[in-house]
Each structure stands twice: as structure tokens, then as C-alpha cells.
């Protein structure tokens, strides 16, 4: 009986944690244009680079040389973008040629 209660409690805990993780993901996504405007307005960030992921999604790096803040944004074909990561102390480096030490 005690084992069943413990298993049930762990299962419910896992469901609650998964629900919170999904809510966190939902709140970090939105219409790309709105997110880009907010990054510019609130953080002074502009797009620094981009790449295509899986042939369908666009991964962009936004950053501010003045404040050092940076954000990585992943945008789906439907225009919905999600924040992947954000941080501080952004630094720009000159490109390194392939084969040279980084």
C-alpha cells in the first residue's frame, strides 16, 4: 500500500513538473515580429546572424554591442518564434578561417 501511494505521488509530481515546463515554453513563444520589436525596444538588440535548421526553421542571434545582452530565437514557418536562450556579456570577434586555431 505504501509503495502504491509513493508511486502515485511520484507520478503526480512528474505530471505537475511537465505541465509547468509546457507553460514555460508557451510563454516564451509568440509572433516573431512582436518579439523582434521587443528585443529592439527593451534591450537594444538587433539581428547579428542567422542559419536554417532542418530546412524549415530559422535560428537567429540577436545582440546589443552596447548592453552586451543577447538572445537566440528559433522561428517556425508559420511565423511563431520561441526564445531558445538569452544572456549577457555578448562579444563580437573577427571570423577565424577554417583550420586556424579559434
DSSP assignment of 27-64: HTEEEHHHHHHHHHHHH--EEEEEEEETTTEEEEEEE-
| Interval 64-99: pLDDT, tens | 999 999 999 999 999 999 999 999 999 888 888 888
Task: Identify the H or E element spanning 84.
Answer: strand 80-87
Task: Identify the H or E element spanning 82.
Answer: strand 80-87
- The pLDDT value recorded for residue 38 is 95
pTM over 0.85: no
**CA atoms 27, 32, 36, 37: torsion sign:** negative
Integer Cα distance of 85 and 38 in angstroms: 15
DSSP assignment of 8-26: HHHHHHHHHHHHHHHHHHH
Amino acid at each position: 500500500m505504501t509503495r502504491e501511494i509513493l508511486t502515485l505521488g511520484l507520478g503526480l509530481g512528474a505530471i505537475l513538473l511537465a505541465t509547468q515546463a509546457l507553460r514555460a515554453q508557451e510563454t516564451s513563444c509568440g509572433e516573431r515580429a512582436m518579439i523582434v520589436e521587443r528585443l529592439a525596444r527593451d534591450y537594444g538588440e538587433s539581428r547579428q546572424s542567422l542559419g536554417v535548421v532542418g530546412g524549415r526553421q530559422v535560428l537567429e542571434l540577436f545582440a546589443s554591442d552596447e548592453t552586451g545582452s543577447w538572445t537566440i530565437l528559433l522561428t517556425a514557418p508559420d511565423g511563431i518564434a520561441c526564445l531558445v536562450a538569452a544572456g549577457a556579456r555578448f562579444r563580437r570577434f573577427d571570423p577565424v578561417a577554417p583550420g586556424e586555431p579559434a
